[in-house]
């Protein structure tokens, strides 16, 4: 009886390990390529199309967006006015997103984040800031 329980436990552990190795992550075209090229801290390695402020104002809530332009001014602790050739938009940039970069209104930047729509306002919750040289 003890051998059967031990054997059953061993089989269950092996099955669970095999199952765990098969779950999670992106599995589709170029998945292997993305896994071999990804940095150890990983993430999505595809591309997001560049959008404009005008486009972002009509996007759905939580839609991912990438914008290029300038920060005109700070309006609160982590809220800023972002500008491109199509208009302005409020953006929220947490301190950790700057990653030590200093940005002035003259510096062109690329931001990536999620559209955050409320009843009467649209802003972008920024996840990445990069100065464009």
Positive or negative: CA dihedral 110, 87, 55, 58: positive
What is the largest distance, in Å, between two alpha-carbon atoms of the chain? 77
- pTM above 0.75? no
**pLDDT score of 8:** 57
C-alpha 28 chain-centroid distance: 20
69: nearest Cα among 99, 90, 47, 45: 90
**pLDDT score of 37:** 46
Alpha carbon distance 52, 82 (integer Å):
11
**pLDDT score of 58:** 94
**pLDDT score of 133:** 81
**Strand (E) or helix (H) holding 72:** strand 64-74
**pLDDT score of 49:** 87
CB 125 within 8 A of CB 113: yes
**pLDDT score of 23:** 39
Residues in the chain with pLDDT < 70? 1-47
């Amino acid at each position: 009886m003890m051998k059967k329980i031990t054997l059953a436990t061993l089989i269950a552990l092996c099955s669970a390990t095999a199952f765990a190795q098969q779950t999670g992550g992106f599995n589709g075209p170029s998945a292997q390529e993305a896994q071999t090229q990804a940095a150890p801290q990983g993430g999505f390695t595809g591309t997001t199309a560049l959008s404009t402020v005008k486009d972002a104002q009509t996007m759905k809530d939580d839609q991912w967006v990438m914008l290029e332009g300038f920060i005109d001014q700070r309006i609160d602790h982590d809220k800023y006015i972002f500008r491109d050739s199509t208009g302005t938009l409020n953006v929220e940039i947490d301190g950790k997103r700057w990653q030590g970069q200093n940005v002035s209104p003259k510096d062109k930047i690329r931001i990536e984040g999620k559209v955050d729509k409320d009843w009467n306002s649209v802003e972008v919750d920024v996840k990445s800031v990069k100065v464009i040289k």
